[in-house]
Amino acid sequence: MSEDRTTDHRAGRDDAGDAERDMPNAHGEAPRGAGDDPSADWVEDSLFDDRLVDDMLGEDDEPIWYDTIGIFGGRSSAASRYQITRAKKTARLAEILRIASHYDIFRGLTPLTFRKLLEELGPTFVKAGQILSMRSEILPESFCHELTKLRSNVEPMDRELVLETLRAEYREPIEDIFDAIDDVPLGSASVAQVHKARLATGELVAVKVQRPHVQEIMAQDISIMRSLARRASRFIGDAQFLDLQSVVDELWQSFREETDFLVEAHSLEEFRRNNADCAYVTCPKPYIKLCTEHVVVMDYVEGISIGDTRKLSSLGYDLGDIGRKLVDNYASQMLDEGFFHADPHPGNLLVSGGKIVYMDLGIMGRLSSHDRAALTEMVEAVALRDAARLKSGLLRFSVSDVSDVDHPGLLADLDGIIADFGEADLCDLDLSAFMNALISMARKNGIELPGTVTMLARSLVTLEGVVDELLPGTSIVEIVREHIKAHSDLADSAKAEARRLSRASLAATRGLLDAAAQSSTAMNMLTRGQLRMNLDLVGYEDPVGDLARSADRLTMGIVIAGLFIGSSVVYYARIKPVIFGVPVIGFVGYVVAFLMGVWLVRSIMSEGKRRR
């Protein structure tokens, strides 16, 4: 593989935008796609009025993510950690609005202009776009597809700035850690850049170095987004179809994970651990002791992009075998481990030394055991064209209350989807269209799916594109189903069923306890005179008499049981008088209890006949 190809892999995902202290495009150059609208001057004058900008931010009544630890053990806000001030937010918002006005956003945006706008706004907005590209339940498919192309061209950091950043991260001199660091980076993105290096111990490594101040820039932008989302939610009210604040919160969580390089380092460790028994899949080994919040040191890997099918074929690789192993392992990531690579495009997949090497583990998804079971059910349902099972799996994924869901309507919609896609063989199934139809149908029926599900859907669509190049005419759904069959046995099924029954039993027990508590409360209120009961028993003309007869029978039953128990005690204690070895009192007690029991049964049966 050529070095520039490796460059992209070592650089990781193009998160885009300049990460220097000054925000990208702050120089005010005429942006791409700007029009010559005569009203542009009026728009700019009205948008950048200081009072309007200040009003858009609103009051600083939000406790901005109090999630960091202070010097003396107290809690410290992100505002102080990332040096967010109202003055900086106001200036940055004015810059954002100025850039946005050049794209004539008030007349609507096409997918292309929306992507270019995000790229010009900087790394935070590019990251937001990358998240939205995986959320087809939020944006139309055309926008999601365009946002997958988000890239930016950024100047690499000077070597001295890289060395200065490394010196700030390590207590010991970097000369004692690295024997050599290449001057020219392997790749440069908005958040970080990667250099090839050699450790003092001789190993070749890739060193990923975060750009200075990128955290402060992105945190400030997200703070602005949060302020705007909060005010927009208040203005729109119940009419909004999307929880804007939850989207910003998701972006904040993603920001925290992707700018803390220790998260990526531990993801590399976990991924390697999960695939330790897989002979054909791996990822770079991290050097944990050398990894910090702003630096990742990992094995240097050279290989061939999995998308370079011509070169792979020329070297004797079996493309079909690579494709099948890729999907089978991805099924294992999803269904067995619940920890999957969320961006499996060709740039993040290398073939090196006979193994598939996953690169850039900055974006990873997790599925709980509950979600994995639901996903397994949905895969089986798609393969069998079973709308009822598909509905069951979909409802298990929902994070919202499904008690108000119109189940017949939902099943009818799913039948429609199955009818639209069911005639095609699995190998001809348009997975992208199918997943988008499924997600749109869920939104239509008020079923809120977690972000991980839509992320997984986009990942599967991306993977399908990769596999189509390697193994044309093959369905990844069928390969995943084969994986499920190969890795499930009776013991696993029994365990899963036992877990299901235990959960059902626990729910039933809780229901009984709740009912008992409510009954106790009602009885207390009844005895205190706080509650009165009016019984209207249809078919019972004398309810009081019926209750009295029931009480008499209950009493008689207790007496009979007492006689049997008492007679048994007398019999086994051999209490005298004893005739022919049989205690007389015990024998008489048995006879009386038997006769009374016969009478009680006959009276109950005759009463039943009378009522009929």
Question: For residue range 518-577, what is the model confidence (pLDDT) as tens digits?
Answer: 666 666 666 666 556 555 555 555 656 667 777 777 888 888 888 888 878 777 777 778
User: In this predicted structure, what is the pLDDT of residue 58?
Assistant: 58
- Rounded to whole angstroms, the Cα distance separating 80 from 466 reads 44
Q: Which two structure tokens, joined as six digits, stand for 386?
A: 């079973």
User: In this predicted structure, what is the pLDDT of residue 121?
Assistant: 86
User: In this predicted structure, what is the pLDDT of residue 18?
Assistant: 37
| DSSP per-residue string spanning 213-228 | THHHHHHHHHHHHHHH
Q: 181-185, 370-374, 399-403, 424-428 — which is least confidently predicted?
A: 424-428
Q: 209: pLDDT confidence band, cut at 50, 70 and 90?
A: very high
Q: 172: pLDDT confidence band, cut at 50, 70 and 90?
A: very high
Radius of gyration over every alpha carbon of the chain, rounded to an integer in angstroms: 35
Q: 5: pLDDT confidence band, cut at 50, 70 and 90?
A: very low
- pLDDT at residue 427 tops 80: no
For residue 427, count other CB atoms closer than 10 A to its CB.
13
Single-letter code of the amino acid located at 442: A
User: In this predicted structure, what is the pLDDT of residue 258?
Assistant: 80
| Mean of per-residue pLDDT scores for the chain | 76
Of 273, 276, 272, 294, which is closest to residue 284 (Cα–Cα)? 272
| DSSP per-residue string spanning 237-280 | GGG-SS-HHHHHHHHHHHHHHHH-HHHHHHHHHHHHHHTTT-TT
- Rounded to whole angstroms, the Cα distance separating 556 from 600 reads 8
**Most confident of the ranges 217-226, 309-318, 391-400, 530-539:** 309-318
Q: In angstroms, how far is CA 148 from the centroid of its own chain?
A: 19
Higher pLDDT, 256 or 346: 346
Higher pLDDT, 407 or 184: 184
Omega before 577 within 30 of 0, i.e. cis: yes
Higher pLDDT, 530 or 222: 222
- pLDDT at residue 599 tops 80: yes
Close Cβ partners of 227 (under 8 Å, ≥ 6 residues apart): 56, 57, 58, 62, 89
User: In this predicted structure, what is the pLDDT of residue 312?
Assistant: 94
Residue 67 has phi, psi (to 5 degrees) of -140, 10
- pLDDT at residue 71 tops 80: no
Of 443, 157, 439, which is closest to residue 294 (Cα–Cα)? 157
Higher pLDDT, 82 or 413: 413
Inter-CA distances, 223 with 229, 405, 500, Å: 10, 35, 43
- Rounded to whole angstroms, the Cα distance separating 592 from 488 reads 61
User: In this predicted structure, what is the pLDDT of residue 20?
Assistant: 36
Question: The tokens 């409510």 sit on which residue?
Answer: 518
Between strands 75-77 and 66-69, the pairing is antiparallel
User: In this predicted structure, what is the pLDDT of residue 8?
Assistant: 40
Q: pLDDT tens, 15-70? A: 433 333 333 333 333 344 444 443 334 334 444 455 555 555 655 544 444 444 33
| Mean pLDDT calculated for residue range 92-111 | 84
User: In this predicted structure, what is the pLDDT of residue 391?
Assistant: 87
Question: The tokens 């702050």 sit on which residue?
Answer: 26
Close Cβ partners of 455 (under 8 Å, ≥ 6 residues apart): 134, 135, 342, 365
Close Cβ partners of 194 (under 8 Å, ≥ 6 residues apart): 7, 10, 11, 12, 185, 186, 187, 188, 206, 207, 208, 209
| DSSP H or E segment with residue 351 | strand 349-352
User: In this predicted structure, what is the pLDDT of residue 514?
Assistant: 62
Contact 166, 209 (CB under 8 A): yes
Contact 340, 267 (CB under 8 A): no
- pLDDT at residue 251 tops 80: no
User: In this predicted structure, what is the pLDDT of residue 59?
Assistant: 54
Q: 21-25, 128-132, 247-251, 592-596 — which is least confidently predicted?
A: 21-25
Higher pLDDT, 88 or 20: 88
Q: pLDDT tens, 278-331? A: 999 999 999 999 999 999 999 999 999 999 999 999 999 999 999 999 999 999
- pLDDT at residue 341 tops 60: yes
**Most confident of the ranges 78-82, 135-139, 432-436, 438-442:** 438-442
Q: Which two structure tokens, joined as six digits, stand for 516?
A: 């008992």
| DSSP per-residue string spanning 58-96 | ----S---EEEE-TTSSEEEHHHHTT--HHHHHHHHHHH
- pLDDT at residue 365 tops 60: yes
User: In this predicted structure, what is the pLDDT of residue 255?
Assistant: 78
- pLDDT at residue 4 tops 60: no
